[in-house]
Structure 1
Amino acid sequence: MFVLTAFKNTFLVLLLTFMACGRSQEAASLSGLQPADDSQEGVIVAANRTEAYFNLLRDKDFALVANQTSVIFTPGAEPGVGKPPWVHLADSLLGAGLRLKKVFAPEHGFRGQYDAGEEVKDGVDLQTGLPVSSLHGAHRKPSPEQLAGLDLVLFDIQDVGVRFYTYIATLQLVMEACAEAGIPVVVLDRPNPNIHYVDGPVMEKDHRGFLGKTEIPLVYGMTMGEYAQMINEEGWLQDGVKSDLTVIPLVNYTRNTPYTLPIPPSPNLPNQQAVRLYPSLGLFEGTYVNAGRGTTLQFQSFGAPFLSGSHFKYTYTPESRPGARSPKHLGALCRGRDLSTVVPPDAVDLKWLVEAYTYRDDNTDFFKTEGFTKHAGTTTLQKQIVDGMSAVQIRASWQNPIEEFKKIRAKYLIYD
Structure 2
Amino acid sequence: MQFMNNQGYNTLIEGCRTHGKRTAITRTIRFLSVVLLLGLAFGCTSTAKATSSSPTAASSSLDDSPVEQFDAANLRVGAERFPQYLHLLDGKRVGLVVNQSARVRTDSLNNAGTNTLATSDEPDTHLLDALLAQKVDVKAVFSPEHGFRGNKGAGEKITSSVDAKTGLPIHSLYGKTKKPTPEMLENIDVLVFDIQDVGVRFYTYLSTLHYVIEAAFERNIDVVVLDRPNPNGQHVDGPILESAFSSFVGMHPIPVLHGMTLGELAKMMVGENWLTHSVATTSQLTVVPISHYKRVSHYRRTMHYSLPVAPSPNLPNDVAVALYPTLCFFEGTDVSVGRGTNLPFQLIGHPLIELGNNKITVKANAAAPYPKHEDQVLFSTVFETHDALTTVNTESGIDVQLLINTYQAFQQAKNDKSASVLFFTRPEFFDKLAGTNTLREMIKNGKSAEEIKQSWAADLQKFKAQRRPYLLYPDVESTE
TM-score by length of 2: 0.75
2:377 alignment partner, one of 333, 338, 346:
333
| Distance apart, 1:74 and its partner CA | 3.1
> Contact conserved, 1:109 with 1:134, CA < 8 A, in 2?
yes
Using the alignment, how far apart are the partners of 1:136 and 1:116 within structure 2?
10
User: Corresponding residue for 1:170?
Assistant: 208
User: Corresponding residue for 1:313?
Assistant: 357
Using the alignment, how far apart are the partners of 2:259 and 2:357 within structure 1?
35
User: What letter is aligned with 1:218?
Assistant: V
User: Corresponding residue for 1:270?
Assistant: 316
SS of structure 2 residue aligned to 1:111: coil
Written as runs of structure 1 = structure 2, the 5 A alignment for 1:32-181 is: 40-75=72-107, 83-181=121-219
SS of structure 1 residue aligned to 2:183: helix
2:305 pairs with 1:255 = no
> Contact conserved, 1:39 with 1:73, CA < 8 A, in 2?
no
Deviation string for 1:351-409 (max 9, x for gaps)?
22212211123142221011111111101111111111122221111101111111111
> Contact conserved, 1:201 with 1:218, CA < 8 A, in 2?
yes
2:422 pairs with 1:365 = yes
| Distance apart, 1:304 and its partner CA | 1.3
> Contact conserved, 2:71 with 2:304, CA < 8 A, in 1?
no
> Contact conserved, 1:113 with 1:323, CA < 8 A, in 2?
yes
Structure 2 CA distance for partners of 1:237 and 1:185, relative to 1, 3 Å: same
> Contact conserved, 2:218 with 2:277, CA < 8 A, in 1?
no
Using the alignment, how far apart are the partners of 1:351 and 1:239 within structure 2?
42
User: What letter is aligned with 2:289?
Assistant: P
User: What letter is aligned with 1:247?
Assistant: V
> Contact conserved, 2:442 with 2:452, CA < 8 A, in 1?
yes
Deviation string for 1:117-160 (max 9, x for gaps)?
11011001123221100000221011111111111100000000
Structure 2 CA distance for partners of 1:375 and 1:59, relative to 1, 3 Å: same
SS of structure 2 residue aligned to 1:144: coil
Structure 2 CA distance for partners of 1:376 and 1:304, relative to 1, 3 Å: same
| RMSD of aligned alpha carbons | 1.8
User: Corresponding residue for 1:7?
Assistant: none
User: Corresponding residue for 1:222?
Assistant: 260
User: Corresponding residue for 2:235?
Assistant: 197
| Distance apart, 1:40 and its partner CA | 2.5
Structure 2 CA distance for partners of 1:152 and 1:239, relative to 1, 3 Å: closer
User: Corresponding residue for 1:292?
Assistant: 338
1:396 alignment partner, one of 416, 429, 454:
454
User: Corresponding residue for 1:14?
Assistant: none
Structure 2 CA distance for partners of 1:231 and 1:65, relative to 1, 3 Å: same
User: What letter is aligned with 1:67?
Assistant: N
SS of structure 1 residue aligned to 2:436: coil
2:328 alignment partner, one of 277, 282, 285:
282
2:398 pairs with 1:351 = no
Using the alignment, how far apart are the partners of 1:332 and 1:100 within structure 2?
47
| Distance apart, 1:313 and its partner CA | 2.1
> Contact conserved, 1:300 with 1:339, CA < 8 A, in 2?
yes
> Contact conserved, 1:291 with 1:301, CA < 8 A, in 2?
yes
Using the alignment, how far apart are the partners of 1:196 and 1:59 within structure 2?
39
Higher-Rg structure is 2
> Contact conserved, 1:268 with 1:299, CA < 8 A, in 2?
yes
Structure 2 CA distance for partners of 1:236 and 1:76, relative to 1, 3 Å: closer
Structure 2 CA distance for partners of 1:39 and 1:263, relative to 1, 3 Å: farther
User: What letter is aligned with 2:389?
Assistant: V
User: Corresponding residue for 1:386?
Assistant: 444
Number of residue pairs the alignment of both structures matches: 373
Using the alignment, how far apart are the partners of 1:139 and 1:303 within structure 2?
34
Using the alignment, how far apart are the partners of 2:408 and 2:101 within structure 1?
39
User: What letter is aligned with 1:358?
Assistant: Q
SS of structure 2 residue aligned to 1:146: coil
Deviation string for 1:59-96 (max 9, x for gaps)?
1111000000001113499xxxx944210000011111
User: What letter is aligned with 1:336?
Assistant: S
> Contact conserved, 1:39 with 1:262, CA < 8 A, in 2?
no
User: Corresponding residue for 1:342?
Assistant: 389
| Distance apart, 1:39 and its partner CA | 5.8
Mark the runs of 5 or more structure 1 residues left unpaired by the alignment: 1-37
2:432 pairs with 1:374 = yes
Using the alignment, how far apart are the partners of 2:121 and 2:364 within structure 1?
32
| Distance apart, 1:317 and its partner CA | 1.3
Aligned-pair identity in percent equals 44
Mark the runs of 5 or more structure 2 residues left unpaired by the alignment: 1-69, 110-119, 293-298, 415-419, 475-480
User: What letter is aligned with 1:365?
Assistant: L
User: What letter is aligned with 1:249?
Assistant: P
Structure 2 CA distance for partners of 1:407 and 1:382, relative to 1, 3 Å: same
